[in-house]
Amino acid sequence: MDEKEVMDTQAQAQPVQDTAPETKQEEKFFTQADLDRIINDRLKSERRKADEKAAEAARKAQAEEAEKNGEWKVLAEQRQAELEKLADMLKVKELNELRMTIAKKVGIPDALAVRLIGETEDDIMADAVNLFSTLPKPTSSVTVGNSTNPSIAPKLTRESISRMSPDEINRNWEAVAAAMQDNR
């Protein structure tokens, strides 16, 4: 073998190491409209933040100026107005929660609970009872005693009781208690 053949066989015997990574990442391309939208969203966000900071700085500067000038009364009135606003918001929230609680207690649907009026629990309760009395009562169109709906209720078993909802158990408590005593 000549020298060239020896070098070729040695080159074939040694594997070539690839230094370039094999993972290829797909590049994401944006259209001009996408870039404009992204930039506009960022600008709006930054402007809003800057406006909020400027308003807070102006309020602080006004408060500091009022303190320096001895205008504590203006500062106190501003704080009092903020407290009254928060108290009003809290009162509205508490009244709404009270309306929802009373509506559930009386059996009024949530959609109608916001229509209840009154400032006290007694006033709201009276309105809820009045509203409930005007709601149409569900009528049962099921006849008892025909061949597909026997007039005698089926006997309850532990399995059938375990599948009942708490409301069904409460409605049928006498039958459930009797079944539990009989160990069915």
Closest CA to 63 of 48, 55, 161, 150: 55
Give me the amino acid identity at 128.
Answer: A
pTM tops 0.75, yes or no: no
- Tens of pLDDT, residue by residue, the chain (184 residues): 555 554 555 555 555 555 555 555 677 788 998 889 999 999 999 999 999 999 999 988 888 887 777 677 778 888 999 999 999 999 999 999 999 999 999 888 888 888 899 888 899 999 989 988 888 876 655 455 555 655 555 677 777 888 888 888 888 888 888 888 776 5
Dihedral through CA 39, CA 44, CA 46, CA 52, nearest 10?
Answer: 180
Helix (H) or strand (E) holding 15: none
Q: Which residue has the tokens 């009022």?
A: 66
137 touches 114 (CB < 8 A): no
Phi-psi region of 96 (alpha: psi -120 to 50; beta: other; left: phi over 0): alpha
Handedness of CA 113, 117, 123, 126 (dihedral sign): negative
